[in-house]
Structure 1
Amino acid sequence: MKKLESSLKNMALALTGFSVVAGAILGWVNKVTAEPIAQANAKTLSDAIAVVVPGFDNNPAEAPETIDVDGVSYKIYKATKGGEFIGAAVESSSMGFGGELKVLVGFDVEGNIIDYSLLSHAETPGLGSKAADWFKKGAKGDITGKNPGEAPLVVSKDGGQIDAITASTITTRAFLAAVNSAYGAYKNQHVDGTSGATQQAADEEKTENVENN
């Protein structure tokens, strides 16, 4: 058998053939794994919402609302029980020491922090990654029960009352900035007790007052 000549043309054909086959394989793998990945991500989100706004009987993840505040988009997952608004989970992010830090923060109807879940981060393992637990109820940097509307969350080193993660002040600042931003989006959306039946009652009272006047 005649040996295939090593030429630019032959190499180009071989490379093209390899690229087509590799592309087809990657496309097939993506198609096969897309659904399971989407389902896993949806479950992770639903579980996170259940942690930060417990007690709902609707499906907050099914129809999130997106709001833009100062050019930044936030997703708001409203939670209800028996048709009554009980709070919402807000997805927010900021830039930490290693990159983007994304957090899901749960607020009750008054705007108090119920809990939070660190969705993703690129912080240093063992240091900045402690943000997943550092600010939980009973922990050193506990933010639960606090209302950023009464006083923005600020690290103690900057004059605030939140203890920074040991050796990770930058991460702490980024985390608190994300939480404060989440609260801003929450209030901007008017979901703090002025939605649902409460909002309807307020509108009816306003209409009645106008008619009486």
Structure 2
Amino acid sequence: MGKKLESSFKNMVLVLFLVTLISSAAVGVVNSFTSGLIEKVQIEKQTQAIRAVVPTFDNDPMTEKYTVKPSENEEEVEFYPAKQNGELVGTAIKTYTNDGFGGKIELMVGFTPDGTIYNYSVLSHKETPGLGSKMDTWFVKGAKGDITGKTPGTKGLQVSKDGGDVDAITAATISSRAFLDAVNRAAKALEKDTKQK
């Protein structure tokens, strides 16, 4: 039988250091194996979102990505131009709002070249399940809050409670306002964009 380690402060610190070192090394190894896969999954999710929000295209919008600042005090939003035979057929814009009931909401909103909303995809949110989380389907074509075919322009879209013409999600007006804030941010950036003009 091996010799028992004396229980002293020095030995406890040494054991704690070794446990921490081994744990850190294990986390590092797992991270190195999974980081590439996680990045690949995120890129694929974003590519699918682009395909869902703009008309059919034959270029690679991910490689033609650029950013636009909607206004001086806002973060940049990402533009993904979709082209068919070299001609712009739509622009997917990765936009955001920090005003959601549960915090930040990220969307991919697709616009036709004239600034009309073609479609959208919710990339991430922390809204209340069964209420604000309904934004995935509430604003799509044919639904009660349908925003497709609308042109926000500089005025932007608003829920009917605020004098606009978009029906808010039942019992989730804050989430609806936040959703439209993200859409309006994308529309404002589209108006400022000089590459498409």
Q: TM-score, normalised by structure 1?
A: 0.87
Corresponding residue number in structure 2 for 1:190: 194
Counterpart selection for 2:89 from 62, 86, 89: 86
SS of alignment partner, residue 76 of structure 2: strand
Q: Residue in 1 aligned with 2:59?
A: 58
2:92 pairs with 1:103: no
State the partner residue of 1:133: 137
User: Residue 35 of structure 1 aligns with which residue?
Assistant: 36
Q: Does 1:77 align with 2:80?
A: yes
Pair 1:152-2:156 in alignment: yes
Range moving further from structure 2, 144-153 or 6-15: 144-153
Query: If you compute each CA radius of gyration, which structure gives the higher value, 1 or 2?
Result: 1
Q: Distance in 1 between matches of 2:15 and 2:132?
A: 47
**CA RMSD across the alignment:** 1.3
Quote the Cα distance in structure 2 between the aligned partners of 1:60 and 1:98: 30
Percent of aligned pairs with the same residue?
48
Runs of 4+ aligned structure 1 residues displaced above 4 Å come to none
Preserved contact between residue 109 and residue 191 of structure 1 (Cα < 8 Å):
no
The SS at the match of 1:93 is strand
**SS of residue matched to 1:61:** coil
The answer to whether residue 7 in structure 2 is matched with residue 6 in structure 1 is yes
- Give 1:68 deviation, angstroms: 2.1
Higher helix fraction: Structure 1 or Structure 2? 1
Task: Say which SS state the counterpart of residue 138 (structure 1) adopts.
Answer: coil
Structure 2 unpaired stretches of 5+: none
Q: How many residues align?
A: 193
Pairwise CA distance, 1:191: 5.1
Cα distance between partner residues in 1 of 2:183 and 2:35: 31
Task: Report the CA distance shift for 1:64/1:129 in structure 2 as closer, same or farther (over 3 A).
Answer: same
Which residue does the alignment assign to 1:171?
175
Distance 1:6 1:64 in 2: 60
Per-residue CA distance 1:135-159 (angstroms, 9 max, x = gap)? 0000000000000017410000111
